Amino acid sequence: MESVNIRLNNTRIAKNALLLYFRMIFMMAVSLYTSRVVLTALGVEDFGIYNVVGGVITLFSFLNGAMASSTQRYVTFELGKGDTDRLRKVFRTSVYIHLLIGLLILLLGETLGLCFFYEKMVIPSSRMVAAFWVYQFSILTMVVMVMSVPYNAVIIAHERMSAFAYISVLEVMLKLGVVYLLYLTSADKLVVYAALLCLMQLLVRVVYGCYCHRNFEETRYRWSWDGSLFREMLSFGGWNLWGGFSSVLFSQGLNILLNLFFGPAVNAARGIAVQVQGAVTQFSTNFQTAVNPQITKSYATGDYAYMHNLIFRSSKFTFLLLVTISFPIFLETEMILQLWLGTVPCYTAVFVRLMLCVTIMDAMAGAFMVSVQATGRVRVYQSVVGGILLTIVPLSWLVLKAGGAPWSVFVVHLVVCLCAFVARLFILRPLIHLSLFGYFLQVICRCISVLLVAVPLPLVLLHFLPATLSSGVLVCLSGMLLMFFSSYLIGLTGGERRFVDDKVLSFLKIKK
């Protein structure tokens, strides 16, 4: 019976991951199209105003991010335990907390944010009124997104990823409608664009709420108050806030250091590297979103063996997925950047390569954070890991002060992330009785074996073939194919290969 449940859970993870990937690809394709069309409709100046004004509100989003992970953990945990009454209380409490966060963002936005808007931002005087209304609509949009978090958490906890896929289709169609209306309106296009996006988010929020109300009994709202649970969830989110704050601080700290030592041209190179990093990270995020509820539920039911198995697989599959995608980029970074950008800022290629390494390492540790959150004991984890990550900025300053090149800060970043990875494992081990030797054997050794087999031949081709487009395509294809087959044959166990084969055959509707 237990093996049947495990097979069902694995099937659910595979199905949900596939749905999330289709959702991501669909939304990315439309986003690329709409970005170009909106730029044409608004013009460069108004498009820049919208992005910079909206970015001020985004600075407050880390408040929401901390509580979003707290809400996700508590909802999933209680669902795993099967305590319906407690689940209702958790949902209602999360609504109150996010209402409080929304009001706090509104307060900060209309005080500190507004002062920054008028005193520091460089906006043409002829567009100040339009920019003000963009700012106000951006605040309202952020508040609506905050209030959507409890409902999104319930959908993820119930593993109804199909809802995200279907509602995302609606969201994308609405975005296309917004773009179309920009060409029809005779009013100020910048203000209309901000207002329509706000209205779109409000409509999507209503759809999510209606879906949850119809499908999940715990979301049918009734007033009640549990002060102890409110304080418990706020405390849990507070330590997550420290972790999120440290991440934002070292990221922006590196950006400022590069600006102080080398000027804005190097910041442009980092900005491009961050874009590449974000695109690659999306692939691991979708897989981990499908796995995370099962990790929390397995802890709630006391099934440590299955939990450990999920952690091992999450780390290994994430590595194999990202390294297969990243390896061709790593090999032919200069060629890819040249084709994409035309003019490539200095240091961009080396920044991209180092940030890909950081991304893969951090993504492998994604399951660790979810596992710690499942236990509810996040204080030590967040304080230690956050403290380690904060050393990136002072260490980078010392290296640059000693004459280090711009890329040296990313080497520091990579080394510190490696230390944080090891610290995460040692903190997690006593919390869930995790075998470090088992992790090393089943994850690290297999990942290294994949690299040893797949890397040499593409590097030889890169060294000996001429630097032409056709040679670059050949190197990229050989690197991706070798990494894919070595991942399949060496990285996966026999049981995992059979599972993958079954899912692929089922997807293609081919019967053995």
Give the chain's end-to-end CA distance (angstroms, integer).
25
At 439-468, the pLDDT tens digits run 999 999 999 999 999 999 999 988 888 878
The answer to whether residue 136 scores a pLDDT higher than 70 is: yes
Total length of the chain: 512
Place 264 in a pLDDT band, splitting at 50, 70 and 90.
low
Alpha carbon 128 to its chain centroid, in Å, reads 33
Q: What is the pLDDT of residue 192?
A: 86
Measuring CA to CA, which residue among 351, 350, 359 is closest to residue 325? 359
At 193-234, the pLDDT tens digits run 888 888 988 898 888 888 888 888 877 767 777 778 788 777
> Please, which residues have CB within 8 angstroms of residue 87's CB and are 6 or more apart in sequence?
75, 78, 79, 218
Q: What is the pLDDT of residue 208?
A: 85
Q: What is the pLDDT of residue 288?
A: 76
Q: Determine the Cα–Cα distance for residues 492 and 363; give it in Å rounded to an integer.
A: 18
Burial (CB count within 10 angstroms: exposed 0-12, middle 13-18, buried 19+), residue 390: middle
Q: What is the pLDDT of residue 120?
A: 67
Q: What is the pLDDT of residue 281?
A: 77
- The answer to whether 411 touches 466, Cβ cutoff 8 Å, is no
C-alpha distances in Å from residue 220, one per residue of 91, 102, 151, 216, 227? 10, 21, 11, 8, 20
For range 302-311, the mean pLDDT: 88
Cα pseudo-dihedral 322, 326, 327, 329, rounded to 10: 170
Assigned token pair, 236: 């849990």
Q: Determine the Cα–Cα distance for residues 288 and 366; give it in Å rounded to an integer.
A: 7
- The answer to whether 307 touches 371, Cβ cutoff 8 Å, is yes
The answer to whether residue 1 scores a pLDDT higher than 50 is: no
Q: What is the pLDDT of residue 47?
A: 64
C-alpha distances in Å from residue 440, one per residue of 42, 87, 434? 53, 37, 11
Q: Determine the Cα–Cα distance for residues 325 and 24; give it in Å rounded to an integer.
A: 15
The answer to whether residue 239 scores a pLDDT higher than 80 is: no
Place 511 in a pLDDT band, splitting at 50, 70 and 90.
very low
- The answer to whether 23 touches 164, Cβ cutoff 8 Å, is yes
The answer to whether residue 512 scores a pLDDT higher than 70 is: no
Lowest mean pLDDT among 24-38, 188-202, 203-217, 361-375: 24-38
Q: Determine the Cα–Cα distance for residues 248 and 62; give it in Å rounded to an integer.
A: 8
Cα pseudo-dihedral 284, 285, 289, 290, rounded to 10: -30
- The answer to whether 244 touches 236, Cβ cutoff 8 Å, is no
Q: What is the pLDDT of residue 300?
A: 82
The pTM for the full model equals 0.71
Mapped onto helix, strand or coil, the DSSP state of residue 56 is helix
Residue type, 187: A
Assigned token pair, 59: 């600075």
Neighbours of 429 (CB within 10 A): 13
Measuring CA to CA, which residue among 294, 313, 311 is closest to residue 499? 313
Q: What is the pLDDT of residue 16?
A: 58
Greater confidence (455 vs 56) lies with: 455
Kindly report the average pLDDT of the chain as a whole number. Answer: 80
Kind plus residue range of the DSSP H or E element containing 483: helix 469-486
Report angle CA 254, 255, 260 to the nearest 5 degrees.
Answer: 95
C-alpha distances in Å from residue 471, one per residue of 342, 456, 465, 475? 19, 16, 6, 6
Place 510 in a pLDDT band, splitting at 50, 70 and 90.
very low
Place 45 in a pLDDT band, splitting at 50, 70 and 90.
low
Q: Determine the Cα–Cα distance for residues 151 and 420; give it in Å rounded to an integer.
A: 32
At 81-126, the pLDDT tens digits run 777 788 888 888 888 888 888 888 888 888 887 887 777 666 778 8
Q: Determine the Cα–Cα distance for residues 165 and 19; give it in Å rounded to an integer.
A: 6
Q: What is the pLDDT of residue 125?
A: 80
Greater confidence (157 vs 192) lies with: 192
Assigned token pair, 415: 């080394």
- For residue 443, the 8-state DSSP code is I
Place 415 in a pLDDT band, splitting at 50, 70 and 90.
very high
Mapped onto helix, strand or coil, the DSSP state of residue 96 is helix
Neighbours of 97 (CB within 10 A): 20
